Amino acid sequence: MPRRPTALRRPVRVGIDAVADKQQGVVAWAWAADPGDGLPGWAGPLTGSGTVDGRDMAAGHLAAVDDVADLVRACRGPVELQVDDPQVRAALEALALPAAKVVCGLSKAADARDACLRVLGLAADTRTRDEIQAALPRLLVGTDGSCDMRAHWPIGGWGWVDGEGRFGAGTGRVKGGGAGANVAEVRALLSAIKSHHCSRRLLVRSDSVVAVRLAQAIRSGRGDTFGVPLDVVARLRQAVFGRDVDFEWVPGHSGEPMNECADRLAVAARRGAQLGVDPAVRDRVLARIVDEYRDRIRSAQAAATIPAAESSGLSAGTG
């Protein structure tokens, strides 16, 4: 008798964040939810945002929790409230919300951070979204590519993860020969850069000497291609034009957490494409990979941060 497939129960994940603008004297709060499998028939919103007066970000987090309460009550399964600061986590745990577990997650908390920035961008009279993004600390992004060279026209995979827990992965056919792996590495750079706001300062790390040298050559105006196809070089040149992006080489498979995470994302994406894995299953696998590295990702970002926010009057992510 065949076994029944086991139903996967994904928890409802709700990212919560607050950002204070000291110059305006206002705190923006926001939440963003992934309904998982616990909100069948839910017709309400999956995001919410607003502002409170003052500079106390704890008040912003509590306002977000109050706003999301209806969604939490409607859940028919576990709920994860994701925040990016241990002090905020402790404050929310003290509320003893029913059926809710507070975790220092990253993926949905990063979505909430973006929503907060949008709120501040709308609330400011003189500050634009570009200025808000530029005032934030430089964001570290780890990238990597993966290529199965056994096929005549191999499949490449690429992945990236940033210091706020966002991540991305993709796949595509790449040219054979030695250029295939380099194309996958450069596609990882492309995906990472294009996935971030044009005003956010980035430090992109890769374990590919070719990809980093190519990016640095483009930044300095040199015409070297390092054997990478011209169409891919042109796309990278367009992506970095006018951007405040630095590139840095890191040794592969050396314990650098963001490189390790990006490597696993790239491999998982490539293998998923080769095996025809359902996209929803693939996305859950990718999210679990990032969750495994969340603490080390936070530490890597903290070590690489340039503290520009305090001097600009903008404070983000701490309670």
Buried b (16+ CB within 10 A) or exposed e, 15-25: bbbbbbbeebe
> Looking at domain 139-304, which CATH architecture does it have?
2-Layer Sandwich (3.30)
Per-residue pLDDT tens digits for 249-269: 999 888 889 999 999 999 999
Q: What are phi and psi of 17, to 5 degrees?
A: -155, 165
CB contact at 8 A, 46 and 20: no
Going across the sheet that includes 155-162, the strands are 167-173, 155-162, 139-147, 202-206, 245-249
Cβ neighbors of 66 (< 8 A, separation 6 or more) are none
Contact 246, 204 (CB under 8 A): yes
Residue 192: the pLDDT is: 92
pTM of the entire predicted model = 0.60
Tens of each residue's pLDDT in the chain, 319 residues: 444 444 445 677 777 777 777 666 778 777 777 776 666 666 666 777 777 777 777 777 778 777 777 777 777 777 777 776 666 677 667 766 666 676 665 555 566 666 666 565 555 444 455 666 666 778 899 999 998 877 666 788 999 999 888 899 999 888 655 678 899 999 999 999 988 877 788 999 999 999 999 999 998 888 888 888 888 898 899 888 888 899 999 998 888 899 999 999 999 999 998 888 988 898 889 989 998 988 888 888 887 764 443 333 333 333 3
What is 12-127's CATH number?
3.30.420.10
Domains 12-127 and 139-304 share a fold: yes
Token pair in block for residue 130: 């570009």
Residues 105-149 pLDDT 10s: 555 556 666 666 656 555 544 445 566 666 677 889 999 999 887
Q: Give the CA dihedral 308, 311, 312, 318, nearest 10 degrees.
A: 70
Domain ranges of the chain: 12-127, 139-304
